[in-house]
């Protein structure tokens, strides 16, 4: 009985060894799968310089850089041909990977139209340095648009916020000709707006004077204001009421006393005497 059990154990051990050897042989016959390690580098297409929104990628704008294998961004491109000729829908910085979320399809072309979402519009208005908040209004900033109305149609001048949290797409200068045919440099700011906001912006810029108020890009709240009117800003002066002088109360003065002369008879003698007395 003991020898029979020993034979069974030996057969099981032999079968297990054969199975393990067969599995190891099949694994070694398979092609080696690439194992990405922290020290291994991967070629990633990146920007060779800072590029603005709407720029069409050229050979001079692209380069291939070595990227750590364990930190490769999702959707990266490894070939220059994959991104060549495509427009940027977001600005990129030097050595930043050119990912699908940053670039448009080849058929879209370049320029401003590719960054306008469906249902939105790009509206441009001419401004000066003061309206542009001394040069701080640039692409990606958000502003409120204030309009001041005055004239015959508006006897009482008023300033009111008509648009809030407007995204600035572009801001730059153009050269125009004055009536005297002299070149004039004008700053143009382009906003991303809905059709209704575009109507308000154009009306405000043509019928009034607009001013931009720069706001925090993280502040998305909208406020309701009554607007500022000149009558409330500078109230008319009121006539001062003269102070009333206190009236001094006088005590009634006693009536001046008057002397009276009376006749006094003492027997046959007649005498006159003066008597002090008050009169009415």
Per DSSP bridges, beta strands 269-278 and 142-151 are: unpaired
Average pLDDT over residues 125-129: 76
55-87 pLDDT, tens digit each: 888 889 999 988 887 788 888 888 888 888 888
Q: How confident is the model at residue 30 (pLDDT cuts 50, 70, 90)?
A: low
CATH 3.40.50.20 fits 41-114, yes or no: no
pLDDT for 149-196, tens place per residue?
Answer: 887 666 788 899 999 999 988 877 666 566 676 665 667 888 999 999
More reliable by pLDDT, 219 or 197: 197
68: tokens are 């750590």
Alpha carbon 269 to its chain's center: 122
Say yes or no to pLDDT of 200 above 90: yes
Q: CA–CA separation, 168 vs 191, rounded Å?
A: 5
How far is 225 from 153, CA to CA, in rounded Å?
Answer: 22
Domain boundaries, the chain: 41-114, 116-233
Mean of all residue pLDDT scores within the chain: 78
Spell out the residues 6+ positions from residue 219 whose beta carbon is closer than 8 angstroms to its own.
165
pLDDT at 280 over 50: no
What pLDDT is attached to residue 277? 57
pLDDT, position 33: 47
Task: Please list, in sequence order, all residues whose beta carbon lies within 8 angstroms of the beta carbon of residue 70, skipping any fewer than 6 positions away.
Answer: 36, 37, 38
Give the range among 17-21, 133-137, 275-279 with minimum mean pLDDT.
275-279
Q: What is the CA radius of gyration of the chain?
A: 49
Asked whether the predicted pLDDT for residue 202 surpasses 50, the reply is yes
Q: Give the tens place of pLDDT for each residue, 39-48.
A: 578 889 999 9
Minimum mean pLDDT range among 15-29, 32-46, 191-205, 225-239: 32-46
Residues 91-111: what's their mean pLDDT?
81
Q: Is the pLDDT of residue 4 over 80?
A: no
pTM: 0.53
Nearest to 57 by CA among 78, 82, 22: 82
DSSP-assigned beta bridge partners for residue 270: 265
pLDDT at 137: 82
Work out the percent of the chain whose per-residue pLDDT is above 90: 16
């Amino acid at each position: 009985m003991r020898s029979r059990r020993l034979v069974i154990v030996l057969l099981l051990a032999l079968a297990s060894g054969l199975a393990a050897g067969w599995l190891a042989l099949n694994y070694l016959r398979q092609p080696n799968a690439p194992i990405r390690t922290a020290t291994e580098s991967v070629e990633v297409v990146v920007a060779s310089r800072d590029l603005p929104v709407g720029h069409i990628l050229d050979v001079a704008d692209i380069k291939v850089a070595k990227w750590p294998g364990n930190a490769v961004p999702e959707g990266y491109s490894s070939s220059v041909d994959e991104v060549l000729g495509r427009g940027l829908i977001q600005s990129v910085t030097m050595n930043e990977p050119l990912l699908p979320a940053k670039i448009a399809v080849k058929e879209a072309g370049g320029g401003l139209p590719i960054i306008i979402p469906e249902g939105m519009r790009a509206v441009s208005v001419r401004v000066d340095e003061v309206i542009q908040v001394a040069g701080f209004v640039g692409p990606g900033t958000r502003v409120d648009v204030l309009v001041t109305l005055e004239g015959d149609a508006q006897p009482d001048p008023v300033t009111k916020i008509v648009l809030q949290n407007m995204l600035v797409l572009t801001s730059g200068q153009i050269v125009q000709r004055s009536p005297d045919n002299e070149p004039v440099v004008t700053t143009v700011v382009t906003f991303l707006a809905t059709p209704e906001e575009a109507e308000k912006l154009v009306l405000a810029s043509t019928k009034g004077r607009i001013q931009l108020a720069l706001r925090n890009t993280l502040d998305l709240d909208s406020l309701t204001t009554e607007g500022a009117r000149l009558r409330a800003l500078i109230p008319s002066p009121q006539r001062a009421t003269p102070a009333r002088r206190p009236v001094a109360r006088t005590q009634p003065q006693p009536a001046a006393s008057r002397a009276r002369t009376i006749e006094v008879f003492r027997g046959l003698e007649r005498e006159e005497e003066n008597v002090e007395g008050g009169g009415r």
